[in-house]
Amino acid sequence: MAATTSPTSFLLQNPHTHHVKSSISTSHFNTLPLPSPSPKRISISCVASTTTSVGIQNPSSSQNPSDDRVFNFAAGPATLPETVLRKAESELFNWRGSGMSVMEMSHRGKDFTSIIQKAESDLRSLLDIPSDYAVLFLQGGATTQFAAIPLNLCKPDDTVDYVVTGSWSDKAFKEAQKYCKPKVIWSGKSEKYTKIPAFEDLEQSPNAKYMHICANETIHGVEFKNYPNPKSLLVADMSSNFCSKPVDISKFGIIYAGAQKNVGPSGVTIVIIRKDLIGGAQEITPVMLDYKIHHENSSLYNTPPCYGIYMCGLVFEDLLAQGGLREVEKKNKKKAEILYEAINQSNGFYRCPVEPSVRSLMNVPFTLEKAELEGEFVKEAAKEKMVQLKGHRSVGGMRASIYNAMPLAGVEKLVAFMKEFQGRHA
């Protein structure tokens, strides 16, 4: 794609934006910056203030264009589909004639039972989860699973293998040290977590109980494109690419994910576990970390995070309505492609440190050649209603998280802004 020469013309050149309206949110428009003293500065405020959904992500979202909505590139909690939010809004006070909000329902009543069962059933359809796998809706984030996994799968002297591709797999490894003998069999730390190892190079420990990976590192933006096939079991933290593409569940012993990236609000953790792995928890396992308890009680041992599960259910419905995860993956690939392309074609003005073959479709970290401009980039983008672009505090730079619910229009707008910004500062 050619670099945009006129900062006001990119929309005309872009085949994906023909539905974009020029409506402007006056409440935000007032906060736009005054014309820059730079002679190169040409405001793209009118174009960039359009946040109308182009309906690519979700066919029905264009029915309620929301001019005051921002494009939210946060790494999680993250943007949710507009149609899901509108549905939740319409049902918040009185869920489908029940006379109450989902937040008020007994978790053991028939209404909530129907909600959690439908959520599980739709998730099973989306991921084609085999019947010998249990689906658990839990609390506490992936971080709780960092302890639960070794507590449930290991005795204290058991060896387990960790592939450390970024901050999250490193945290998982450290927590496991409390409960078994974990070994880092590969670490990308010396290369600043920009790579995924070649599987044939992994030296598995003899008798390791499992191999743990983080399928997508939210902070560093590296993503497994396929999966190792360990002699033991494969266990994966999929928090930040869960339901972003099809996955062959049968390759895994356990997949776990916080919901707050691709499938719902924070406060829900989903665990998909092969049933024969359930039941061997160490005696010191807190009851709330024991998979057996949750499996036997269909995730209702104690009160689950009901509203969050309901929201996940709405997202699952939306993903199915889009045609399932193959269609979702196509959209995610398209979004990531235009963003990485913009970086690649910037002549080094923008840089992504990650090895091209393992760049994440979900989290795109990048820096500026002129690092001193990064603050200005983030600030100006925010004024153009593209928010949460600052990189994680541990790595700096920028990061655009473009999960399922980020519309293509959001990425296109970001790419246009990047080119315009480069035009002014190159």
283 counts as binding its own copies under rule CB under 8 A: yes
Applying CB under 8 A, among 7, 55, 65, 141 the residue interacting with its own copies is: 141
Is residue 168 part of the annotated active site? The answer reads yes
294 counts as binding its own copies under rule CB under 8 A: no
426 counts as binding its own copies under rule CB under 8 A: no
301 counts as binding its own copies under rule CB under 8 A: yes
Count of residues interacting with its own copies (CB under 8 A): 72
Applying CB under 8 A, among 42, 202, 249, 288 the residue interacting with its own copies is: 288
Q: Which 371-390 residues touch its own copies, going by CB under 8 A?
A: 385, 387-388
Could you give the string, one character per residue 235-274, with x where binding to its own copies holds by CB under 8 A and - elsewhere?
Answer: -----------------------x-x---xxxxx------
Applying CB under 8 A, among 16, 28, 274, 351 the residue interacting with its own copies is: 28
With respect to its own copies, which residue has the nearer C-beta, 253 or 267? 267
85 counts as binding its own copies under rule CB under 8 A: yes
311 counts as binding its own copies under rule CB under 8 A: yes
**Shortest Cβ 269–its own copies spacing (Å):** 9
Q: Which 56-75 residues touch its own copies, going by CB under 8 A?
A: 66, 68-70, 72, 74-75
Q: Which of 209, 261, 331, 335 is catalytic?
A: 261
Is residue 111 part of the annotated active site? The answer reads no
**Shortest Cβ 264–its own copies spacing (Å):** 8
In angstroms, the CA 291 to CA 288 distance is 8
In angstroms, the CA 154 to CA 42 distance is 61
Could you give the string, one character per residue 177-216, with x where binding to its own copies holds by CB under 8 A and - elsewhere?
Answer: -xx-------------------------------------
Q: Which of 161, 168, 186, 318 is catalytic?
A: 168
With respect to its own copies, which residue has the nearer C-beta, 146 or 186? 146
396 counts as binding its own copies under rule CB under 8 A: no
Residues with a known catalytic role: 168, 237, 261
